[in-house]
Structures are given as structure tokens and as C-alpha cells.
Amino acid sequence: MRDWEKVSSRWASSSSSLKLLLFVVPLVLVSGFVSVVGPRTSTWVSLSYYPWPWGSGFPSSSSSTTTVMTMTTTSLSTKEGEQQLKIHLTPKVVGLHHVEETLSDTSIFNRSSSVLAKEIFETQQLDEKNVKELQSPIDRSDASPVTMKAADVGPATMEVEEDGKLERSLNGYDVSPVIMKVPEEENKQERLNASAVAEVQKKRRSKLERLEAGLSRARVTIREAAHQKRNQTPDLDYVPQGPMYWNAQAFHRSYLEMEKQFKVFVYEEGEPPLFHNGPCGSIYSSEGNFIHQMEMDKRFRTQHPEEAHVFFLPFSVAMMVRFVYVRDSHDIGPIKHTVTDYVNIIAGKYPYWNRSLAADHFMLSCHDWGPATSTYVPHLYNNGIRVLCNANTSEGFNPAKDASFPEINMVTREIKGLIGGPSPSHRPTLAFFAGKLHGPVRPVLFEHWKNKDEDVQVYESLPRGLSYYDMMRKSKYCICPSGYEVASPRVVEALYVGCVPVLISDHYVPPFSDILNWRSFSVEVPVNEIPNLKRILLNISSKQYIRMQRRGLLVRKHFEVNFPPKRFDVYHMILHSVWLRRLNVRIHDEQI
């Protein structure tokens, strides 16, 4: 009997070893197979563009959500990626003349809401799935790769030496099969530790998801506000209202949501004067003032890039033209190399550029060469948010992703003394303009109106004794024609002194036109209607003129420069334009 028990014991022992061996060998083979021939992890970026809920001047197509790009992120300089990007990135652009039709089409809200409801449902499902994963113990034999953020980083399987032993590690996870028995208490503690580690890793991987969830909730809130008949949100500083806004309630809610969660990361690489600096006392002062205020911002700027919704490229094209460009050389090459080298540096150092192919990055420039400078970085031109004074749609400005901001000439570095003017009854001159002859529009204006009419006073240079700002204050309408570029500082100058701007330009997108209804406080005259300029202005009734003039005074706060910045001023309106474009894009990583 004892002999049988010995034999039986040996058999059970050998059987147990055999079972363990049968379990371990296939597991080792599978793990080795996965680590050797398994697929490299690729970051998939899917960008979905959402229309703004208040029919802006540039509504999207009939579908409220357009999947713009789905591709495997490659290295920054690969030609295949750039070609693929150009093929898939096709945002829709609609001209200003469709604005009123969009406002009357309430179905855009219904379509958009259904998309947002789907987003919320997907987010809830994701959260429930995460909870279940965190509650279950980690299977250490699971060698599935972890999705990496950077474009060229694969799930490297590496040898880690610890306490004199070599262990196989996959992106920080131990992939060696457990082949030894441990007591139940130790095994339980091990599962708890593994769950804690997994929870930390999950939090790291889900930061982008949490940012996107916040944006999704903001979209829902804004669209709900868009349906309100009146603004029900209290605000001690300012409550937007009136026909100057496409949808005052939606704008106000969007602005408050921006204040609640929007974060900007400013890349610290680069040295002044080309980076982190800009002109603050010239026609390009809008560029320098924003860079300076962004650098000093303690509310919207974050020092932690994983918390950021957008990433700012703090270079100044105006300073590059001054310090890098060789005057009269007609060679923009040095500027091109400066920008491309900078982008290569931040793309190699951080994962965020390659994660979205620049869709959550923005540049800002008020110089004429700003748009051209962005073309040297294809991802920036095609995907990035370009905040430009020279918002010319004929030169590639895309209102679906780019933002127009005002050109403000601050020679004295402040706006004190520039704001204010008499009432409409004390403005005897119908229209006024004074400026140099350049560009394609002004020659036509001079041909028909220079020194030819006392009501429409057009000068190339002011006669002695006349003050430029005094003439603007005496005029009902201030003519703002394009010069070399479509933007003009006269637009803001007119609003400052209470003069109704007359925009004469083709292809120009006025600042903040996704929020502001420019037709309610300005006059738009096509270039081919310049000969009829006086008749067009005289056909505007006195009652309508007074309404436009008063509305201009109300929206003036959005164009004022303050040190430090104040709510709803030009600095915050620029930030809000960037916020809207980020709100209009969804970025998420997917594992193949």
C-alpha cells in the first residue's frame, strides 16, 4: 500500500510538472513570437471637424461631422505622409454670402446634437470599460503592445537587468511568464500591486481622452445655449447680446467654457528676438502683443504639456524679417530654414506634433509673409491653426481651421487717446480715406475718388494742417481698402473713433467673423463696386447708419488692447478663436 502511495505521489508530482511544462512552453513560444514578429504600434490620428453651433460665416457641409483624416502617423519629414495628408484633409469652406441661410437653418443644431450624443455615449462606454479593466487583475502573460504617442516609437521589447537577473520587458511591462508557485497571500498582493501600476498607466494613457471628453461636454453645452431665446447666463463683466453676434448666447457660453478649461502650452525652445518676442510698437504690434501676453499668462498657459488643448509655436515672422532676412535679397530661404528647423526640434523632442500632425498647434503672425512662411511646413499649412492678420482666402486661408485677427497699429505702444469720437450728428463728412498707393485695390479707388468729391474725401497724403485721426472722427464712414495685403489697420482705427468701417476687399475674412456679424456694424463693398461707392453709402438710411455706428461702439471692446488683458478684449478674443478651432477637432489615438 505504501509502495502504491509512493508511486502515486511520484506520478502526481511528475504529472503536475508535466502540466506546468505543457502550459509554460506554448506561452514562451507565443511571447517570443509576438515580440519578434508582432506588429509595431502605430499612432492613428482621426480628426473630426464639428461645425460651430451659431451659423458662422463659414458653415460646414450638410453633414455635421466630417471625418477629415485617418492615417498612420509617420516621421515628420516623410514624403508619403505629406502626400497622404494632402489627399485626406479636405475641410469645407463656404463664403460669407451663405451666412444668413445658415442661421435660418436650424437643422444644423439637430444634426450636430445627434453627433454629440453619440460622443457622450462612446465616452461613457469607454469609462465603464476602463473601470472593469482596473478592477480585474493583470494577466502577466498578456504581451499586447501599449499604444505610444510618438510617431516613430514602436513597442520595443528590451532586456532589463534587475538584481543580477535578466527580465523581458515590453514598454515597461514584464512579459516573462510566471513559472513558479507563490503562496496565495503573496499572489493576492501581487495582483493588487499590478492593478495599482495599471491604474497609474491608465491615467497616463487617458489624459488625452479626458481632454477630449471635456471638449465634448463643452460642445453639448454650447449647442444647448444656442437654442435659448435669450441669454440666461449671468456675468458681472459683460453679457453679449444684439445683432452684432451670430448667436450671443452660444458665444457667451463658449467663452465661459474656454475660461473654465482651456489650456495652452508654449514651447520653451528658441531664443529672443526671433522667439518669445515680437514688435509691440509698429503696424505689426498685434503679433508682438499677443506673444508677450501669452508668455506672461498665468491663467490659460500651462507648464504641463499633457494638460494642454493646444500648443503655441512662439516664433515671430516680423522679427525674422528684421533679423534673418537680408534686405532686398528676395531670398526668404533663411526664414524658411529657421521655421522648419524649429519645428523639427520640437517634433523630435515632444510627441505632440506627430500625435496630431499639427492639428492642435497654432502659429500667429501679422506680417505679410506670415501665410507664406507656414507653407514651408506642410503639416502646419494643411492641419495647423494659423492665426493671421492677412486672412486672404485666395492665398490659402481656410476659415474652417485658420483664424483671422485684427491688425492694430500701436506706434505709441498704447491705445490711450485713440479711442472715442463725436456722435453721428457731429460728423459732417460722408466718407474718408488717406493712405499710400499700393496693391491692386487702391489704384481703382484713387482713379474714381481721389480729389474728386467733397463728400468722399480720398487722399494719398493729407494736406498740411489736417489730422488723420481728426478726419476719421469727423467722418460717418471710414474707407478701409486692401493694400499689398487684404488686412488694414484702418478697420480697428475706425471702430476706435466710432466711424463705420467700409471694407473694400475681395477674399478678406474679417477678424472674429465666426462670432461677429460684420454686416451689422460695417459696410462691405466689392472691388468692382468702387465706382458706385458714394451711391451705396447714400442709400443707407440715417436710421440704419446710427444703428451700425452704435453697434460698432458696442463691439469695440473686442478690439481693445489692455495691459494686463481684460475679459472679452482682443487678447481673449484671439484665444477664443483658437479655442473654437480646437473645439472643432477631435484627436484620438487608436491601436492597430
SS3 label, residue 243: coil
Q: How confident is the model at residue 72 (pLDDT cuts 50, 70, 90)?
A: very low
Residue 122: CB atoms within 10 Å: 12
The residue among 320 and 58 whose pLDDT is bigger is 320
What is the pLDDT averaged over residues 399-407? Answer: 98
Residue 516 φ/ψ region, left for φ over 0, alpha for ψ in the -120 to 50 degree band, beta for the rest:
beta
pLDDT tens digits for 460-493?
999 999 999 999 999 999 999 999 999 999 999 9
Residue type, 442: R
Residue 328 φ/ψ region, left for φ over 0, alpha for ψ in the -120 to 50 degree band, beta for the rest:
left
pLDDT of 29: 57
The residue among 422 and 174 whose pLDDT is bigger is 422
pLDDT of 451: 93
pLDDT of 176: 31
Residue 128 has pLDDT above 70, yes or no: no
Q: Could you tell me which residues are beta bridge partners of residue 436?
A: none
Instruction: Identify whether the C-beta of residue 373 lies closer than 8 Å to the C-beta of residue 347.
Output: no
Instruction: Identify whether the C-beta of residue 500 lies closer than 8 Å to the C-beta of residue 548.
Output: yes
Residue type, 256: L
pLDDT tens digits for 274-316?
999 999 989 999 999 999 999 999 999 999 999 999 999 999 9
The length of the chain, given as a count of residues: 592
Residue 70 has pLDDT above 60, yes or no: no
What are the φ/ψ torsions at residue 255 (nearest 5 degrees)? -65, -45
Residue 71 has pLDDT above 80, yes or no: no
Most confident of 81-85, 86-90, 299-303: 299-303
What is the pLDDT averaged over residues 335-360? Answer: 98
What is the pLDDT averaged over residues 451-457? Answer: 96
DSSP symbol at 273: T
Residue 371 has pLDDT above 70, yes or no: yes
Cα–Cα nearest to 257, from 52, 113, 67: 52
What is the pLDDT averaged over residues 60-85? Answer: 34
Instruction: Identify whether the C-beta of residue 255 lies closer than 8 Å to the C-beta of residue 568.
Output: yes
Q: How confident is the model at residue 131 (pLDDT cuts 50, 70, 90)?
A: very low
Residue 15 has pLDDT above 90, yes or no: no
Q: How confident is the model at residue 23 (pLDDT cuts 50, 70, 90)?
A: low
Strand arrangement of the beta sheet that strand 165-170 belongs to: 157-162, 165-170, 173-174
Least confident of 149-158, 205-214, 317-326: 149-158
pLDDT of 53: 61
Residue 559: CB atoms within 10 Å: 24
The residue among 183 and 244 whose pLDDT is bigger is 244
Residue 125 has pLDDT above 60, yes or no: no
Instruction: Identify whether the C-beta of residue 291 lies closer than 8 Å to the C-beta of residue 313.
Output: no
What is the pLDDT averaged over residues 198-207? Answer: 62
Q: Which residue has the cell 462612446?
A: 122
Residue 330 has pLDDT above 80, yes or no: yes
- Render 369-438 in DSSP notation, one character per residue: THHHHHTTSHHHHHTSEEEESS-BGGGT--TTT-EE------TTSS-TTTS----GGG--EEEEEE----
pLDDT of 264: 99
What is the pLDDT averaged over residues 87-92? Answer: 31
Query: What stretch of H or E contains 347?
Result: helix 333-349
From the number of C-beta atoms within 10 Å of its C-beta (0-12, 13-18, 19+), residue 327 rates as exposed
Per the structure block, which three cell numbers stand in for 437? 498707393
What is the C-alpha to C-alpha distance for residues 575 and 568, in angstroms, rounded to an integer? 10
DSSP symbol at 523: E
pLDDT of 232: 76
- The distance from CA 341 to its chain's CA centroid, rounded to whole angstroms, is 22
Most confident of 108-117, 135-144, 190-199, 478-487: 478-487
pLDDT, the chain, mean: 76
Instruction: Identify whether the C-beta of residue 297 lies closer than 8 Å to the C-beta of residue 344.
Output: no
pLDDT of 413: 72
Instruction: Identify whether the C-beta of residue 261 lies closer than 8 Å to the C-beta of residue 222.
Output: no
Q: How confident is the model at residue 189 (pLDDT cuts 50, 70, 90)?
A: low
From the number of C-beta atoms within 10 Å of its C-beta (0-12, 13-18, 19+), residue 334 rates as middle
What is the pLDDT averaged over residues 108-114? Answer: 30
pLDDT of 17: 52
What is the pLDDT averaged over residues 37-56? Answer: 47
Least confident of 56-60, 259-263, 385-389, 502-506: 56-60
pLDDT of 231: 81
Per the structure block, which three cell numbers stand in for 300? 490659460
What is the pLDDT averaged over residues 173-185? Answer: 35
Please measure the distance between the N-terminal and C-terminal CA atoms of the chain and give it in whole angstroms.
60
Structural domains of the chain, with CATH = 2-40+136-206 (no CATH), 263-400 (no CATH), 424-559 (3.40.50.2000)
Q: How confident is the model at residue 74 (pLDDT cuts 50, 70, 90)?
A: very low
Cα–Cα nearest to 561, from 572, 550, 553: 572
What is the C-alpha to C-alpha distance for residues 305 and 269, in angstroms, rounded to an integer? 13
pLDDT of 54: 59
What is the C-alpha to C-alpha distance for residues 67 and 51, in angstroms, rounded to an integer? 12
Which contacts of 332-338 are long-range, i.e. CB under 8 A and separated by 24 or more positions? Answer: 332/369, 332/372, 332/373, 335/369, 335/373, 336/373, 336/376, 338/274
pLDDT of 332: 94
Residue 153 has pLDDT above 70, yes or no: no
Q: How confident is the model at residue 7 (pLDDT cuts 50, 70, 90)?
A: very low
Listed in sequence order, the DSSP H helices in 434-489 are 442-449, 468-474
Listed in sequence order, the DSSP H helices in 89-232 are 99-104, 107-135, 184-205, 207-226
Q: How confident is the model at residue 205 (pLDDT cuts 50, 70, 90)?
A: low
Per the structure block, which three cell numbers stand in for 305? 504639456
Which contacts of 185-190 are long-range, i.e. CB under 8 A and separated by 24 or more positions? Answer: none
Q: How confident is the model at residue 417 (pLDDT cuts 50, 70, 90)?
A: confident
- The distance from CA 268 to its chain's CA centroid, rounded to whole angstroms, is 19
Q: Could you tell me which residues are beta bridge partners of residue 155?
A: none
Q: How confident is the model at residue 25 (pLDDT cuts 50, 70, 90)?
A: low
Instruction: Identify whether the C-beta of residue 287 lies closer than 8 Å to the C-beta of residue 278.
Output: yes
Query: What stretch of H or E contains 481?
Result: strand 475-481
- The distance from CA 519 to its chain's CA centroid, rounded to whole angstroms, is 26
Listed in sequence order, the DSSP H helices in 234-332 are 248-261, 285-296, 317-323
What is the C-alpha to C-alpha distance for residues 363 and 387, in angstroms, rounded to an integer? 6
pTM: 0.71
Residue 334 has pLDDT above 70, yes or no: yes
What is the pLDDT averaged over residues 99-107? Answer: 30
Q: Could you tell me which residues are beta bridge partners of residue 169?
A: 158, 174
Residue 179 has pLDDT above 90, yes or no: no
Q: Which residue has the cell 520595443?
A: 156
What is the C-alpha to C-alpha distance for residues 391 and 486, in angstroms, rounded to an integer? 7
pLDDT of 28: 52
What is the C-alpha to C-alpha distance for residues 217 and 484, in angstroms, rounded to an integer? 43
Residue 139 has pLDDT above 50, yes or no: no
The residue among 32 and 516 whose pLDDT is bigger is 516
pLDDT of 165: 38
